[in-house]
Amino acid sequence: MQNLAKYIDQTLLSQDATEKEVISFCEQALEYNFYAVCVQPYRVSAANKVLKGSNIKIAAVVGFPCGSTFTEIKLKEAEKCIEAGAHEIDMVINVGAFKDGNIKFVKTEIKKMAELPAVLKVIIETGLLTDEEKILACKTAAEAGAGFVKTSTGFTKNSKPATIEDVKLMFDAVKGTGVKVKASGGIKDYETALSMINAGASRIGTSSGVIILNAGSETAGSGY
């Protein structure tokens, strides 16, 4: 696929990732020209040192991975990330509040986050939701002004790899709203990445971007 790199948020969210590793990771992102890198809040500054002035965006996770902290804390965390150089915020919804049926709270929180000067990706944590809940979460995020809905963090006990079925479900739920879908979780090879894009994903969150791109180049070279 042409321009596959422009679908990829190359991701490094390990708790033990050092600044040296983050810098090397961002230098690699420059080499492969990914759309964005996705890092922990504390590492936004290090990423910005490498990527400032380039066309590669910096995404920071907020309320990660549980999503159950106070809205005010999420807002302050996102603001600090933006001040440090983040262009995009990947925020986890409060799944417990959503499960309580407190949709108004969840929607208000997303709306406040969406008002910040950054693209907002709303992580709905598909492994914890029924199909009906996934649809409702996506529609709620769209109504609140999110830029993307995203499958999962990959960090919860019930996290599962992104599935084609979930991406299609989410894509259909936000169709016509201008909201896009980010597939994240267990996407480690070219074929899986391509299947997610074909299912409706506009962005792929993965720590295997280099592997995916290299495999894509080999496939293209083979005349596939």
- Domain ranges (residues) in the chain: 4-221
How many Cα atoms within 13 Å fall on the side-chain side of residue 92?
24
Catalytic residue among 57, 134, 180, 182: 182
Catalytic residue among 9, 74, 90, 180: 90
Which class for 65: exposed (0-12), middle (13-18), buried (19 or more C-beta within 10 A)? middle
Give catalytic status of residue 175 as yes or no.
no
Task: Please tell me whether the peptide bond between 41 and the residue prior to it is cis, using omega within 30 degrees of 0.
Answer: no
Average pLDDT over residues 193-209: 97
Average pLDDT over residues 202-210: 97
How confident is residue 84, by pLDDT bands cut at 50, 70 and 90? very high
On average, the pLDDT of the chain sits at: 95
How many Cα atoms within 13 Å fall on the side-chain side of residue 182?
35
Helices (H), the chain: 19-32, 44-51, 71-84, 95-100, 103-114, 131-144, 164-174, 190-199, 209-221
Say which residue, 219 or 125, is predicted with more confidence.
Answer: 125
User: Which residues, at least 6 apart from 8, have a Cβ–Cβ distance to it below 8 Å?
Assistant: 34, 35, 36, 193, 203, 204, 206, 209, 212, 213
Give catalytic status of residue 168 as yes or no.
no
How high is the pLDDT of residue 1? 53
Average pLDDT over residues 182-196: 97
Provide the CATH number for the domain formed by 4-221 in this structure. Answer: 3.20.20.70
Give catalytic status of residue 90 as yes or no.
yes
How high is the pLDDT of residue 224? 29
pLDDT in tens, 92-124: 999 999 999 999 999 999 999 999 999 999 999
How high is the pLDDT of residue 81? 98
pLDDT in tens, 4-27: 999 999 999 999 999 999 999 999
How high is the pLDDT of residue 220? 61
pLDDT of 218 strictly over 80 = no
User: Which residues, at least 6 apart from 198, have a Cβ–Cβ distance to it below 8 Å?
Assistant: none
Average pLDDT over residues 139-143: 98
CA distances from 43 to 94, 191, 210 (A): 23, 30, 20
Catalytic residue among 74, 107, 150, 180: 150
